[in-house]
Chains A and B, each alone.
Chain A
Amino acid sequence: NAGVTQTPKFQVLKTGQSMTLQCAQDMNHEYMSWYRQDPGMGLRLIHYSVGAGITDQGEVPNGYNVSRSTTEDFPLRLLSAAPSQTSVYFCASSYSSGQGHEQYFGPGTRLTVT
């Protein structure tokens, strides 16, 4: 199993540009989520999904869109990048029950917005 994969590893955007961060998992997990990690702030939940076709907002959803058309994929879209979105983004997946929601994380995407 590859686990949770994320692409790209690094990305530089100009203010106003849009892009999609890709996330895929091959563990048949129902639950997937996107976090951003900023110094001194830990991980903050952006959006999450409890299954294909079902998504919901997390703690910091503004400026981001998600969709979940398959169990495996959960892309994160930045609609119009802003310098405040400079961060490291992590995708995670887990079973939805029975495992205490243990999360499996991808390697991260380091995004810089200039």
Chain B
Amino acid sequence: AQSVTQLDSQVPVFEEAPVELRCNYSSSVSVYLFWYVQYPNQGLQLLLKYLSGSTLVESINGFEAEFNKSQTSFHLRKPSVHISDTAEYFCAVSERGYQKVTFGTGTKLQVIP
């Protein structure tokens, strides 16, 4: 069965500093990987995804994540955060050929002015 671990429940970071949100997954088969973002009092929206091909994927607002198969990780990074990045970020995994998506417990990113 697939599982996702987000070890950091909260990450405070100063504005314009870099940030990394960690995600590790467990699965016995090939996977798709996702990062979703949830702004306060809203639903989740897709930030970026890894399906196949290049292991480095990017979002339109400067986030990137790298699929590392040997370390079963999909960490999310941004070189310089903005106040508007304050939100909760969820890592998710689904196994190829299998419908269900499993979410991590989320990491709250707090950007400090």
Which chain A residues in 52-96 approach chain B with CB under 8 Å?
58, 90, 92, 96
Known: A90-B44, A107-B42, A107-B43. A101 touches B101 (CB 8 A): yes
**Chain A binding site: helix, strand, loop or mixed by DSSP?**
strand
Q: How large is the interface on B (under 10, 10 to 19, 20 to 34, 35 or more residues)?
A: 20 to 34
Known: A31-B99, A96-B99, A102-B34. A90 touches B43 (CB 8 A): yes
User: Which A residues form the contact surface with B (CB < 8 A)?
Assistant: 4, 31, 33, 35, 40-45, 48, 50, 58, 90, 92, 96, 100-108
- Binary CB contact string for chain B from 77 to 113 against chain A (1 if under 8 A, 0 otherwise): 0000000000000101010000111111110000000
Specify which chain A residues have a CB less than 8 angstroms from the CB of B51 in the assembled complex: 100
B45 & A58 in contact (Cβ 8 Å cutoff): no
